[in-house]
Amino acid sequence: QRYVVAAIRRRSDTSSQRDVVAARAALLQKAQDEENLMRRLATMAAASHALRLGPVALRPAQIALETPLSVVVRDLRPVLPGHVVVAPKRPVERYADLTEEEGDDLAVAIRRAQQLTPAADAFNVALKDGTSAGQPVAHVHAHVVPRVKGDLANNDEIYGLIDGWTPLDACGAPVTLDVPDDAARKPRSAEDMAAEAARYRRRGEPFPEPADVTFGPFAVDASQVFFESGTCRALVNLKPLVEGHVLVVPKAVVPTLGEMDEELHRDLWRAARRVHAMITEEYGATGANVAVQDGIA
């Protein structure tokens, strides 16, 4: 009996010691986790303080959200309520200078920026690339402007508002795009459009002649297609605003960016970047505008 009691006590003592050791280990782990969390928060705060848009140092309160390589900035001279600016964290001057990872991440950040205002009827997304296109600072950025029905007396006013935007008065006078009236833009002949597409096609990878090409409800002649990816294509424009004004669209009819799955959304922006490079090379352009009219307001 004494042996049994002693054995039970030894087991009980050993169990108590293990409990004490486990409790101490748990406390140490908790303290370590808290220290790691504080370090991460400090790093994030420091990164937020270090973020800039060109010459503008961004305040932490202006950071609406971050992705690994991009930042969404609010309250930076918005032209309409909810207007945010999306930029890569790395201060890259031109759209073509982004790495593929940065370009993909910028597209993700634009998508998430739109999700900040789910009640919007539509969005204007605009990227002015290069000083000749009106880029006010040497740092790539896109505007995401939520729209609601009746917010402007004339919907086209939004283009002037974005053209006139600068983050600082010191950025100088804006460069505006001289857009002709719609009545002055006459439809072009099928022959002219096919010839233009053939010029651009020489700058890209060859692809089989597409079938059943559409743009919304409209059938498009295959000769007007000059670029194809897995899910998207580029078309010449029936009534271009300026020479080189082209369209990049998904092959499937999808009404808005928000209705695209992630793969299609990524491929659309990759296609836009490739077409942007083709067109600027074709014309020796020092700037270009990339714009999406997303939805109807």
Catalytic residue among 83, 139, 141, 143: 141
**Cβ–Cβ < 8 Å for 244, 177:** no
Report pLDDT for 42. Answer: 47
**Cβ–Cβ < 8 Å for 60, 73:** no
Catalytic, 141? Answer yes
Report pLDDT for 92. Answer: 95
Question: Could you give phi then psi for residue 73, rounded to 5 degrees?
Answer: -110, 130
Q: What is the 3-state secondary structure (H, E, C) of the chain?
A: CHHHHHHHHHHHHHHHHHHHHHHHHHHHHHHHHHHHHHHHHHHHHHHHHHCEECCEECCHHHEEEECCCEEEECCCCCCCCCCEEEEECCCCCCHHHCCHHHHHHHHHHHHHHHCCCCCCCEEEEEEEECHHHCCCCCCCCEEEEEECCCCCCCCCHHHHHHHCCCCCHHHCCCCCCCCCCHHHCCCCCHHHHHHHHHHHHCCCCCCCCCCCCEECCEECCHHHEEEECCCEEEEECCCCCCCCCEEEEECCCCCCHHHCCHHHHHHHHHHHHHHHHHHHHHHCCCCEEEEEEEECC
Report pLDDT for 46. Answer: 46
Report pLDDT for 229. Answer: 96
Burial of 110 (0-12, 13-18, 19+ CB in 10 A): buried
Report pLDDT for 148. Answer: 97
How many whole angstroms separate alpha carbon 30 and alpha carbon 295? Answer: 49
Report pLDDT for 259. Answer: 97
Report pLDDT for 21. Answer: 72
Residue 3 half-sphere exposure toward CB, CA atoms < 13 A? 0
| β-pair type (246-250, 70-73) | unpaired
Tell me the average confidence (pLDDT) per consecutive run of 10 residues in the chain, 297 residues long.
52 67 79 70 52 94 97 97 98 96 98 97 97 94 97 93 90 71 86 98 95 94 97 97 95 96 98 97 96 93
